[in-house]
Amino acid sequence: MKRLVLVAGLVAALVSCSKKETPKDPQPDMAAKTKEAPKDPHPQMGDTAAMFDPANLPAAGTAPPAVTVTKELDPMWSAPLKDLKGQPTTLASYKGKALMLVNVASKCGNTPQYATLEALQKKYEPKGFTVIGFPCNQFGGQEPGSPEEIATFCATNYGITFPIMEKIEVNGTNRHEVYKALTPIKDASGHDGDIRWNFEKFVVSADGTQITRFSPKTKPDDPTVIAAVEAALPKK
């Protein structure tokens, strides 16, 4: 009898355990509640993506002394140019605006500067400012593309809205008239003459009388560059 009682007790215990609800794995619920991380809107840009936003530009610092010019720039304004669509133009079309003239390239270590050039354009264009890009293939063959290829590269990778001209030469015997006028200007270190590499910058005041030159390594969002841009804007 005792054995029968023990067996009956074990059977009852097993039946009772089988009726208990097995606890659910919490992982599926947690996974369901976890939202998918948003994708990077500019995955090809990596660390430069944040530079598209004008709000990320730093405050102006102190601009280096500008160089005062008088008649030296006269040939620059009337020199014939063509934009990437082959339309003829001149820098005289932009007189009255503060300008940043930059020799650009698509395959250079400095190419990500396009991002902050566009940020400057967005922030200061309403105040009378524009960047103008001059593609040049004289530095390591880093701008080999056709006008159509350059336009596609700039639009696809950087959303460029500022004007870009057809390729020119900025050094040597075929130096374009624009750069014949610009290269005698000294930067803060005392350098004048030949353009040193892609993305050398010249900030020209809206009245055309002041120029500030910056080396290729000085980025467009450097506080000294921003200060020069603000000083060059049209006076109210």
Residue entry with tokens 């950087």:
158
Residue 87: Cβ within 10 Å count: 9
Encode the chain (236 residues) as per-residue pLDDT tens digits.
444 444 445 444 444 444 444 444 444 444 444 344 444 344 444 455 567 899 999 999 999 999 999 888 899 999 999 999 999 999 999 999 999 999 999 999 999 999 999 999 999 999 999 999 999 999 999 999 999 999 999 999 999 999 999 999 999 999 999 999 999 999 999 999 999 999 999 999 999 999 999 999 999 999 999 999 999 999 97
The residue annotated as part of the active site, out of 17, 108, 136, 154, is: 108
Query: Domains of the chain (ranges plus CATH)?
Result: 68-232 (3.40.30.10)
Contact 200, 113 (CB under 8 A): no
pLDDT of residue 52: 82
Nearest C-alpha neighbor of 101 from the set 189, 173, 177, 47:
177
C-beta separation of 81 from 181 below 8 A: no
Q: Is 108 a catalytic residue?
A: yes
